Amino acid sequence: MTNHTVCAVDLGSTKASCLIAKLDHDGKVEVKGFAAVPCGALRRGLIIDEEGAAKAAAKAIEGAEEEAGGISPSASVTLTGPHIMSMDSRGIVTITPTMRRVAEADILEAINHSRKVMMPAGTEEILHLPREFRIDGQRGIADPIGMPAARLEVVTVFAAGDTGAVQLLESAVAKTGKSGVKVLPSAVMAGVGLLSQEMMDLGAVVIDIGGDVTDIAVFADGGLAYTAGLPVGSAHITSDIRQLLKVTISEAERIKIDLGTADASVVDPEAVVDILQDGADKVRPIKKTVIAEIIEARVREIGQLAHAHIQQSGFEGKLTGGAVLAGGGSLLEGLPETMSAAMQQIKVRRDGVSVRGPHARRLKAPQYTAVVGLARHLLDSAEKEYQPVSSFSALKRGFGALKSRFGGS
């Protein structure tokens, strides 16, 4: 078991968090240090204040490293936002002589062939993973090595983000003194933390609801199949309440958290609560159903947008495992039920990651799922940097990073 320690960073529109972790003797994630600080330097996944982002990242990293009792030379960071996209590419290799057994070199050649794809203008590849192998047209091959074949195919899924967003994120974290900064998609990393191999085989979608964005990652046939970002998050619910009830942002946030639910059907139609409108001297009563209907409308929109992407992925019929929620925006009461209704009755549930050591209970909260999943991904590929084209052992570690479950065997 490697003694490698990793540094995972999550920068968002409301917070910056850093997790220093290693694998314990059972192969489970052990927390060595953790810190989270406020961050308002991003909007919709894009850095709007590079110095502010760098300072927030530095403060979170320093706090985690102080607790861990050591400094990590490198760090990786999650990327979020509506600019995130994914695409598939196929690589084909003819096996000669015909029906020779497939070797590692054949697989790497097929993967290299699949990577000869042009990214859309203004975007940059941040992750590529072989999703499926095919032998002579037979689909669903998990490990083709040693199988006789005339033709080997691989389907590789690529995740990409806005080039400027990726570079600014790299730069902000690099300003903390870290080298070799890697940028990886947030919802995919959340899936690493939340989903077991069985769930990936069954098919499931992770929906990571952040402050002003929501990211999704579809897993099917044992691995990543699709990822995307939506330009809406929990901050839009707060904004709706502020505008429609004519209250301040702080009062709108209080109403959302303390008085709100995303399912108006469970609210007593006679229930009344007090709110303080902007500029008013005293509170005024309002029915709770009014608040619930405002919240439910926006949550339904998030669910409908997520469902549209699920349909676009082509894997809607393969999501036996349903949808799993992540992100701080998923904490609203009644949200799973309303999301499920908006997503054509796809089962929606909450879950949490499991780690050992200090902060284990705190890190179960959905707002930390991505940073914990990122740490797991880094630990699973710690012995050699995950680059599938470099060696088959690295390829297998890359698969493992996306198929491991925290606390699992």
Q: What is the predicted pLDDT for the residue at 400?
A: 45
From the first residue on, what is the mean pLDDT of each consecutive set of 10 residues in the chain (409 residues)? Answer: 84 95 91 96 93 97 96 94 95 95 94 90 92 91 92 95 96 95 96 92 96 96 93 97 97 97 96 96 96 98 98 95 96 97 95 93 96 94 43 42 36
Report CA Rg, the chain.
22
DSSP assignment of 183-201 equals EEEHHHHHHHHH--HHHHH
Category of 7 on φ-ψ map: left (φ > 0), alpha (ψ -120 to 50) or beta: beta
Q: What is the predicted pLDDT for the residue at 381?
A: 80
Q: Which of 163, 162, 85, 87 is nearest to 118 (CA)?
A: 87
Q: Residue 232 is which amino acid? A: V
Q: What is the predicted pLDDT for the residue at 2?
A: 57
Q: For domain 85-162, give the fold.
A: Dna Ligase; domain 1 (3.30.1490)
Give the Å distances, CA to CA, from 23 to 184, 303, 407. Answer: 20, 36, 11
Label residue 50 exposed, middle or buried (CB < 10 Å: 0-12, 13-18, 19+): middle
Buried b (16+ CB within 10 A) or exposed e, 379-398: bbbbeeebebeeebebbebb
pTM, whole model, 2 decimals? 0.90
Backbone torsions φ then ψ of 279, nearest 5 degrees: 85, -5
Distance CA 25, CA 366 (A): 26
Distance CA 18, CA 391 (A): 30
Q: What is the predicted pLDDT for the residue at 386?
A: 31
Distance CA 55, CA 57 (A): 5
* For helices 392-401 and 104-114, angle between their N-to-C axes, nearest 10 degrees: 70
Q: What is the predicted pLDDT for the residue at 382?
A: 66
pLDDT in tens, 251-264: 999 999 999 999 99
Residues in the chain: 409
Average pLDDT, the chain: 91
Q: What is the predicted pLDDT for the residue at 384?
A: 40
Three-state secondary-structure class, residue 120: coil
Domain spans of the chain?
Answer: 85-162
Residue corresponding to tokens 């989903």? 195
